[in-house]
Amino acid sequence: MSFSLQELDHLLALSHLHLEDSEKPHYLAQLQRILDHMKNLSSVNLDGLSAELSTTQSTPLRDDVVVTQPDLLLKQNAPLWEAGCFRVPRLLE
């Protein structure tokens, strides 16, 4: 599949992007390489591979452990403290 400059202009219009005319051949070549790579990937034989393969199957998971954080002296540094939270003046009625 090859992309023309008119198709690139249409794509730029749809994506609300602007390129200078001097930049278009450069980006057109990059886009063509990407499309060629996708075409090569679509020809890869995936027979014999199951859809259940996942990288998480071999990843060991750690136990969830509650860790208490050190005292950050928030209560001593807060102008108003109530029920373990900062108390702030009401801004909206």
Low-confidence ranges of the chain (pLDDT < 50): none
pTM above 0.85, yes or no: no
Which residue range forms the structural domain that includes residue 18? 5-42
Token pair, residue 11, equals: 């794509």
Total count of domains within the chain? 1
pLDDT at 82: 87
Spatial separation of the C-alpha atoms in residues 4 and 8, rounded to whole Å: 6
For the chain, the DSSP string reads ----HHHHHHHHHHTT----TTTHHHHHHHHHHHHHHHHHHHTS--TT--TT--GGGSPPPPPP---PPPP--HHHH-SSEETTEE-------
For the stretch 4-17, pLDDT in tens is 899 999 999 999 99
For residue 82, report the phi and psi dihedrals to the nearest 5 degrees.
-145, 125
In a domain, 89, yes or no: no
Predicted local distance difference test score (pLDDT) of residue 54: 60
Q: What is the pLDDT of residue 65?
A: 87
